[in-house]
């Protein structure tokens, strides 16, 4: 397992409560794969595709202080979710209105 940190508690909440097990595994695979070691050398925020269908799921992260820090997420055509706007909380609230099985498929 890769050492992952979060920019804030909102990002941590999305990781643990919204993302499916498959998305978490994909993130872990991508970050632990030695071919993708360029993520560690890159000083800017990197966009990683966790899922393409049925809805695109993106994670934005940066390598800081010997660990990956997740800066935000993007689900489909939603805004770049960082937890800094009220609309971001409303987006997560609408995600929880979806039943758990459908949420597992989408995210």
Position 76 scores a pLDDT of: 87
pLDDT tens track for 58-82:
999 998 888 889 999 999 888 899 9
Q: Half-sphere exposure (CA, 13 Å, Cβ side) for 94?
A: 8
Position 1 scores a pLDDT of: 60
In angstroms, rounded to a whole number, what is the distance separating the alpha carbons of residues 10 and 52?
23
Please confirm whether the linkage preceding 6 is cis (ω < 30° from 0).
no
- Which sign, positive or negative, has the C-alpha torsion 66, 71, 73, 74? negative
**Residue ranges covered by each domain of the chain:** 4-106
Residue with the larger pLDDT of the pair 85 and 1:
85
In angstroms, rounded to a whole number, what is the distance separating the alpha carbons of residues 79 and 35?
30
pLDDT tens track for 38-54:
766 777 888 999 988 88
Please tell me the pTM assigned to this model.
0.84
């Amino acid at each position: 397992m890769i050492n992952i940190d979060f920019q804030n508690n909102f990002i941590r909440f999305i990781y643990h409560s919204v993302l499916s097990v498959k998305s978490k595994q994909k993130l872990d695979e991508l970050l632990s794969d030695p071919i993708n070691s360029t993520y560690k050398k890159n000083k800017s925020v990197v966009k990683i595709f966790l899922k393409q269908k049925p809805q695109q799921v993106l994670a934005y992260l940066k390598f800081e202080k010997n660990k990956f820090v997740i800066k935000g997420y993007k689900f489909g055509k939603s805004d770049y979710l960082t937890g800094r706007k009220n609309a971001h909380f409303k987006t997560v609230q609408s995600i929880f209105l979806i039943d758990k099985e459908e949420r597992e498929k989408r995210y």
